[in-house]
Amino acid sequence: QVQLVESGGGVVQPGRSLRLSCAASGFTFSSYAIHWVRQAPGKGLEWVAVISYDGSNKYYADFVKGRFTISRDKSKNTLYLQMNSLRAEDTAVYYCARDFPPGIRWNYILDFWGQGTLVSVSS
Amino acid sequence: EIVLTQSPGTLSLSPGERATLSCRASQSVSSNYLAWYQQKPGQAPRLLIYGAFTRATGIPDRFSGSGSGTDFTLTISRLEPEDFAVYYCQQYGRSTFFGGGTKVEIK
């Protein structure tokens, strides 16, 4: 069955960095675009970034451009989110989510989600 | 940027009742690129509906989506105990945004 398992969250000071991982299994990882979506405590969903099936294209929400980098490793079936210059407002549960259907272009339809990893930015 | 406004903020209903959730967009949603998600406490969101009315795999037919342009509706025909949750609409296309959510709670 499709599984996405995030890891790497934790408590970090403002201005520091953190790298999140999302391990995928149960489907052909290299065929799907994958997204990061976050949810601040008690708040709604906020889309963060997407990477194409082959890693050649990436797109970011304005509020993370220049600070976050999305990448993927086909050999490890793993997605990453490198987060630099973290701010208090980046505090959230970060989910990875699969794009549907598979293809060259992403569609933003998120058909499977991981359980999320909590990032807390605090001094 | 398309802003999605969901109403009501909270819907208090009993099991067996019909739930009608609204999602209004600040401008027309092209090609009806509108999805609905369900989220229960401590869980990840689950895709229910995409393309405004197409149910995702495994979603019961008591869930239905309708609407076009700027006004969309998620209807749950008869609420089951497991349906009490928060529901989000999402516009997608060139980019994507989510609505603020509607909580369906037990009356």
Distance (Å, rounded) from C-alpha A27 to C-alpha A96? 15
pLDDT at B1 over 90: no
pLDDT, position A87? 97
Q: What is the mean pLDDT of residues B41-60?
A: 97
Confidence of residue B31 (pLDDT cuts 50, 70, 90): confident
List of chain A residues whose C-beta atoms are within 8 Å of the C-beta of residue B90: 45, 108, 110
Confidence of residue B37 (pLDDT cuts 50, 70, 90): very high
Distance (Å, rounded) from C-alpha A3 to C-alpha A10? 22
Q: What is the mean pLDDT of residues A58-68?
A: 95
Strand partners, A112: A98
Q: CB-based contact (8 Å) between B53 and chain A?
A: no
Distance (Å, rounded) from C-alpha B96 to C-alpha B20? 23
CB distance A19 to A9 below 8 Å? no
Q: Do A107 and B47 touch (CB under 8 A)?
A: no
Q: Do A110 and B37 touch (CB under 8 A)?
A: yes
List of chain B residues whose C-beta atoms are within 8 Å of the C-beta of residue A112: 47
pLDDT, tens only, A11-32: 999 999 999 999 999 999 999 9
pLDDT, tens only, B76-87: 999 999 999 999
